[in-house]
């Protein structure tokens, strides 16, 4: 057998893109059905379960391509990194939309909003749970960096410890945010402030949940010693995503929780 003529990976036919699109359609349809009739959550539950299943099987195949088939050459790794950067850039613009809505209201560009926060809204205490959550999320980012540097040195046990700490801190962050929502005195439909607040912080919380899942998979792979000091694109992608989540939270804390509280 001769050497390959090029360093690119020509992927084999896969059922997962088509299955993933069906899962996304089922989830969206189930969400709309659930919003109109809270007694019918089963379509949404089935859609989410299918999305999780397809994602797991798809990523399993990608891991096998890199670990067992050795198809992730330097050129392929570069393409994966570029793809992750573009994905994060699209996520940045996603949150820009929420900040645009926030500043449109808080800077009284919208003529229907005369004061900010609007009358009758009691904002959450900036220096209570939001500040504690800021310290927790930044600490988790430090733990991911600690694990990344350890991986480059080949210190497998330190990698596992750093990722485990980051996952635990992420779970604590989500728990405190859920408690914070329970303590809030305003509901989602009670004006522009609650709507923007819950949409921005809620979608950030969802991204933290995705990041925790991402890091948990990396933790499992690190425990099985599947990462190499010179080849760990999956870990790099998870670290970049987690740092993106950190940066978005800093903007939310400064502008929505601190400055936005008047």
- DSSP state, residue 260: G
d(CA 163, CA 234): 13
Q: Are 258 and 125 in contact (CB under 8 A)?
A: no
What pLDDT does residue 189 have? 85
* pLDDT of 1 above 60: no
Question: What is the number of structural domains in the chain?
Answer: 2
Per-residue pLDDT, averaged over 83-103, amounts to 96
Note whether residue 54 is domain-resident. Answer: yes
Decide: residue 148, CB within 10 A, 0-12 exposed, 13-18 middle, 19+ buried: middle
Judge if 109 and 163 occupy the same domain.
Answer: yes
Confidence of residue 3 (pLDDT cuts 50, 70, 90): low
DSSP three-state, residue 23? helix
d(CA 54, CA 159): 28
Judge if 129 and 212 occupy the same domain.
Answer: yes
Domain that holds residue 199: 83-261
d(CA 72, CA 19): 24
What pLDDT does residue 249 have? 98
Q: Taking the model in full, what pTM does it have?
A: 0.91
Judge if 204 and 166 occupy the same domain.
Answer: yes
Judge if 100 and 64 occupy the same domain.
Answer: no
Percentage of the chain beyond pLDDT 70 is 98
What pLDDT does residue 139 have? 98
* pLDDT of 54 above 60: yes
Which of 71, 98, 118 corresponds to the end of one domain?
A: 71
Q: Which of 16-30, 116-130, 202-216 has the lowest mean pLDDT?
A: 116-130
Judge if 215 and 151 occupy the same domain.
Answer: yes
Quick: pLDDT tens for 221-256.
Answer: 999 999 999 889 999 999 999 999 999 999 999 999
What pLDDT does residue 2 have? 52
Judge if 92 and 156 occupy the same domain.
Answer: yes
Which of 47, 71, 95 corresponds to the end of one domain?
A: 71
Q: Are 261 and 123 in contact (CB under 8 A)?
A: yes
Note whether residue 2 is domain-resident. Answer: no
Give the tokens for residue 87.
Answer: 């994905």
Judge if 203 and 130 occupy the same domain.
Answer: yes
Judge if 148 and 244 occupy the same domain.
Answer: yes
Q: Mention every residue, 6+ apart, whose C-beta is less than 8 A from residue 182.
A: none
Nearest CA-CA partner of 133 in 19, 25, 253, 226: 253
Judge if 123 and 51 occupy the same domain.
Answer: no
Decide: residue 134, CB within 10 A, 0-12 exposed, 13-18 middle, 19+ buried: buried
Q: What is the CATH number of the domain that holds 144?
A: 1.20.120.80
Quick: pLDDT tens for 110-146.
Answer: 888 888 999 889 999 999 999 999 999 999 999 999 9
What pLDDT does residue 4 have? 66
d(CA 148, CA 159): 7
């Amino acid at each position: 057998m001769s050497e390959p003529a090029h360093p690119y990976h020509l992927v084999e036919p896969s059922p997962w893109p088509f299955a993933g699109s069906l899962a996304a359609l089922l989830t969206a349809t189930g969400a709309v059905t659930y919003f109109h009739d809270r007694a019918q959550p089963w379509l949404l539950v089935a859609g989410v379960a299918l999305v999780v299943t397809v994602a797991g099987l798809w990523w399993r195949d990608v891991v096998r391509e890199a670990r067992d088939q050795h198809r992730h050459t330097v050129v392929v790794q570069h393409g994966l990194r570029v793809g992750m950067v573009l994905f994060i850039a699209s996520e940045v613009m996603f949150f820009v939309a929420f900040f645009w809505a926030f500043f449109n209201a808080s800077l009284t560009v919208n003529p229907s909003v005369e004061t900010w926060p609007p009358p009758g809204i009691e904002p959450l205490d900036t220096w209570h749970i939001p500040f504690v959550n800021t310290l927790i999320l930044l600490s988790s980012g430090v733990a991911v960096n600690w694990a990344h540097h350890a991986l480059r040195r080949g210190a497998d046990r330190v990698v596992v410890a750093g990722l485990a700490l980051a996952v635990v801190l992420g779970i604590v962050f989500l728990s405190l945010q859920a408690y914070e929502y329970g303590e809030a005195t305003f509901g989602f439909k009670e004006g522009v402030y609650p709507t923007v607040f819950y949409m921005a912080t809620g979608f950030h919380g969802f991204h933290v949940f995705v990041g925790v899942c991402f890091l948990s998979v990396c933790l499992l792979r690190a425990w099985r010693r599947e990462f190499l000091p010179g080849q760990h694109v999956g870990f790099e992608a998870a670290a970049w995503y987690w740092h993106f989540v950190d940066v978005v939270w800093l903007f939310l804390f400064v502008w929505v929780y601190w400055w936005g509280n008047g």
